[in-house]
A = this chain, B = another copy of it.
Amino acid sequence: MVPHLRTSLIGPLSELELLMLDAMPQIERWFRMEWQEHTPPFYSSVNLRHSGFKLAPVNTNLFPSSFNYLAEEMYPLATQAAMVAVEKYCPDAKNLLIISGDQTSCPLYLKNLAHLSNILRLTGLNVRLSSLSEDLTQTTTLTLTDGQTLSLEPLERNGRRITLDKGRFDPCTILLNNDLLNGEPKILENLTEQILLPPLHAGWSTHSQSTHFNNYDNVAKRFSKFLDIDPWLISAYYNKLSKIDDNQKTSKKELHHIIDQQLKKIAKKYKEYHIEEKPFLIIKPDVGTSKSAIKIHNSNELTELENWLYDINIDKKTNNLLIQEGIPTIESVDKQPAEPIVYMIDRYVVGGFYRINSEKIIDTPPHQPAVRFEPLPYIKQSERTLNDISTVHNRFYSYGVVARLAMLASSIELEQTDPNPDFT
Contacts and interface: CB of A to CB of B under 8 A. Distances in A.
Interface of A: 1, 3-4, 24-29, 31-33, 35-36, 72-73, 76-77, 79-84, 86-87, 91-95, 122-126, 348, 378, 380-382
A104 to B, nearest CB: 23
Given A1-B124, A84-B84, A380 B72 contact: yes
Given A1-B122, A33-B92, 9 more contacts: A1-B124, A3-B79, A4-B76, A25-B95, A29-B94, A35-B91, A72-B382, A73-B380, A84-B84
Chain B CB within 10 Å, residue with most, of A3, A28, A92, A126: A28
A246 to B, nearest CB: 49
Contact of A348 (B29, B32, B83, B93): B83
The 3 A-B pairs of least Cβ separation, nearest first, read: A28-B124, A3-B76, A32-B91
Chain B CB within 10 Å, residue with most, of A27, A76, A86, A382: A76
Contacts of A124: 1, 24-25, 27-29, 31-32
A187 to B, nearest CB: 25
Contact of A77 (B4, B29, B36, B77): B77
A422 to B, nearest CB: 23
A23 to B, nearest CB: 10
Contacts of A1: 79-80, 82-83, 122-124
B84 A378 contact: no
A378 B74 CA distance: 11
Contacts of A72: 380-382
A164 to B, nearest CB: 15
A378 B79 CA distance: 14
A261 to B, nearest CB: 39
B94 A26 contact: yes
Nearest to A96: B25
Chain B CB within 10 Å, residue with most, of A1, A27, A126: A1
Contact of A28 (B36, B125, B381): B125
Number of identical protomers: 2
Given A72-B380, A94-B29, A80 B125 contact: no
A87 B31 CA distance: 10
A91 B36 contact: yes
A124 B382 CA distance: 23
Contact of A87 (B3, B25, B35, B95): B35
B28 A91 contact: no
A348 B80 contact: yes
24 contacts: A1-B83, A1-B123, A3-B79, A25-B124, A25-B126, A28-B124, A29-B94, A29-B124, A31-B124, A32-B87, A32-B91, A32-B92, A32-B93, A33-B91, A33-B92, A35-B87, A35-B91, A72-B380, A72-B381, A72-B382, A73-B73, A77-B80, A80-B348, A83-B348
Contact of A80 (B32, B81, B91, B122): B81
Chain B CB within 10 Å, residue with most, of A3, A25, A123, A126: A25
A35 B93 CA distance: 13
Contacts of A27: 124
Contacts of A31: 124
A380 to B, nearest CB: 6
A393 to B, nearest CB: 12
A28 B125 CA distance: 8
A141 B84 CA distance: 38
A26 B93 CA distance: 9
A292 B378 CA distance: 39
Contacts of A36: 91
A398 to B, nearest CB: 13
A84 B83 CA distance: 11
Contacts of A81: 80
